Structure 1
């Protein structure tokens, strides 16, 4: 039981959390359900001496298992779905032509549109449902009707296609509603993820996203990182002089410069805490990282935001360090080195860059 819970939880997480192809996951779910139902039906048919029907349901179970294993291994959802649609169309057609179990097996044909919409996109599902309807009409309302066994009543032959069409309309409406709600769920999930990883004031990334970045980085292996730790000079004095609302505007202005300069580069910018910011540069040379730090320093000072301290304008101090990161310990050492370099920059008079790139 615990295995089944873990198995289906994994499938649902792929669909809703990891954003794996929804239809691929649904095809795999259908294969599991189809294999289970087919195995049960095979056993029951054999017990009732319905050997032909038992053979057909047994073959369908094998097909479901094979398609499940194929899509799980290759991820080629479309090929698996098209194969499943053709197999089901052929199998359901045999049920109608064979008139098995006094004609009741033919009712499985009405499920064909629902299955198509479950495992295919909208247009292919409509196409295959139309093909199924054409096969049904050809068998029931043309001279081919004489090839059918006598188990079907005239009333059944007249109503069966309308039952199929009714299920098609229901499946189309249900699929449209499902696709819309699933799309909205994805949008809301992406928005929630974005907001949870973003600092509300500065729109930079927050410490939660930094932790995710670190984990993703370590999973990929080693990487050369340059860390820039920034701190707004005399920020407490600025708040005391101009007020906290003005202080918030300063933080947003500084963050705007960081975002503008780091846009398009292999970097992340984080509000590390209070008036402190962190920029991590990846796939950058030492000279490029040093030039980036100097440009940040001058661009922020050139905002010309008045301040009673320093040289009359808001400025920042920057500590910089570099390291090849292969473990969490090395990642934390990189940040600690940048923090120590920032302290040195403040001790050296502020509005400067301190630290070395090794």
Structure 2
């Protein structure tokens, strides 16, 4: 019994280490590649990678549990892998982990019938986890229900692997093992909950420092950082960098006539429209003033940028903004400046050129796009 307990504790320590590295890897990825978490495709890759990660962890536990090594070490850990993935991730990664665990069990084990029976039971447990995870219950309640669903598998496994008899005299031993199993699972789930919650809170705190709370776009501070970085990169690579500055026409009139709540709704609606447009990779969209927005577009031509700005202008004309007056139409003016690797010596000069282009668009009647002609500016 002491050998089994020792192996369970050591496997729990390994599981906690795996959770820690998982949490640190996700945190680092969010810091270095935040755009990946905004992409559905990239999110799927990350999730399925987690399934592979925990699937191979399960295979390691199977190897450790082969006869002659650490008998009894791994079954609880394999079940905990499925519990963690279902509660804190989704069925997709859990399915990947399950398939790897089944493959490892069938190819690494010797007793074919016992392995097939185990596979059948763990698939049943997988569906128990999947259904319980969908319930509107607390994490603790879900874990209790799932662990109760694991009892048939544990009864069979402990009887076969550790040779605990189905007798009244063995009842204290059964109770002891079930208690240890529940205890270890709750430690692992608590650690996973803490890591998951901490990562989300850190991410939300980071986002609050770079996002405008009304529109969900980058704020001016983040825009300055990203614009300077994009300019330095374009200067080093002698690459194109385009800047669009957009201003909502007569926005002060909207605020004065309908109030700031309606004005805020107009800003929010416009921002959501921008977020739905398909921009080139590494585009940054920011709110840089009350009704003023900026779009940083690296690695595309001036004509492509002008086409995108025109596309935005035309879409705005068709949006039904929350303005009570019948026939009221919101329009925008846009100014564009293009950096070709040498025509502007500082990011401030490029920003000033785009701002001048916006001024020209507004002076010429608004609801239009104006592009600043290429010139060398100090």
Q: What is the TM-score when the length of structure 1 is the normalising length?
A: 0.51
The 1:177–1:349 alpha-carbon spacing in structure 2 relative to 1, beyond 3 Å, is same
Verify: 1:135 aligned to 2:69, yes or no.
yes
Pairing partner for 1:117 from 15, 18, 25: 15
> 1:220-279: per-residue Cα shift (whole Å, max 9, x none)?
854421111111112112211121112112212322332233456542211111010111
Residue aligned with 2:335, SS:
strand
Q: CA deviation at 1:178?
A: 1.8
Residue aligned with 1:203, SS:
coil
Residue aligned with 1:135, SS:
coil
Verify: 1:184 aligned to 2:197, yes or no.
yes
In structure 1, the partner of 2:213 is 200
In structure 2, the partner of 1:349 is 365
Residue aligned with 1:183, SS:
helix
The 1:192–1:184 alpha-carbon spacing in structure 2 relative to 1, beyond 3 Å, is same
**Equivalent residues of 1:306, 1:313 under 8 A apart:** no
The 1:307–1:338 alpha-carbon spacing in structure 2 relative to 1, beyond 3 Å, is farther
Verify: 1:285 aligned to 2:301, yes or no.
yes
Q: What is the TM-score when the length of structure 2 is the normalising length?
A: 0.49
Structure 1: distance between partners of 2:197 and 2:10? 27
The 1:242–1:219 alpha-carbon spacing in structure 2 relative to 1, beyond 3 Å, is same
Structure 2: distance between partners of 1:174 and 1:126? 18
Residue aligned with 1:279, SS:
strand
Q: CA deviation at 1:198?
A: 2.1
In structure 2, the partner of 1:225 is 241
Structure 1: distance between partners of 2:336 and 2:359? 11
Verify: 1:298 aligned to 2:314, yes or no.
yes
In structure 2, the partner of 1:273 is 289
Q: Give the gaps of 5 or more residues in structure 2.
A: 19-53, 72-177
**Equivalent residues of 2:335, 2:369 under 8 A apart:** yes
**Equivalent residues of 1:205, 1:270 under 8 A apart:** yes
Residue aligned with 1:289, SS:
helix
Q: How many residues align?
A: 225
Residue aligned with 2:69, SS:
helix
In structure 2, the partner of 1:54 is none
The 1:339–1:350 alpha-carbon spacing in structure 2 relative to 1, beyond 3 Å, is same
> 1:173-195: per-residue Cα shift (whole Å, max 9, x none)?
53443233212222332333334
Q: Which segment is superposed worse, 336-345 or 347-356? A: 347-356
In structure 1, the partner of 2:351 is 335
Structure 1: distance between partners of 2:8 and 2:274? 60
Q: Give the gaps of 5 or more residues in structure 1.
A: 1-95, 97-107, 138-164
Structure 2: distance between partners of 1:306 and 1:175? 49
**Equivalent residues of 1:117, 1:125 under 8 A apart:** no
Q: CA deviation at 1:205?
A: 1.9
Structure 2: distance between partners of 1:307 and 1:167? 63
Q: CA deviation at 1:127?
A: 3.1
The 1:320–1:215 alpha-carbon spacing in structure 2 relative to 1, beyond 3 Å, is closer
**Equivalent residues of 1:129, 1:168 under 8 A apart:** no
> 1:93-113: per-residue Cα shift (whole Å, max 9, x none)?
xxx9xxxxxxxxxxx989743
> 1:125-144: per-residue Cα shift (whole Å, max 9, x none)?
6335535x94367xxxxxxx
Structure 1: distance between partners of 2:70 and 2:302? 71
Q: CA deviation at 1:286?
A: 2.0
Which structure carries more relative contact order (alpha carbon 8 Å, separation 6+)? 2
**Equivalent residues of 1:228, 1:280 under 8 A apart:** yes
Q: Which segment is superposed worse, 119-128 or 232-241? A: 119-128
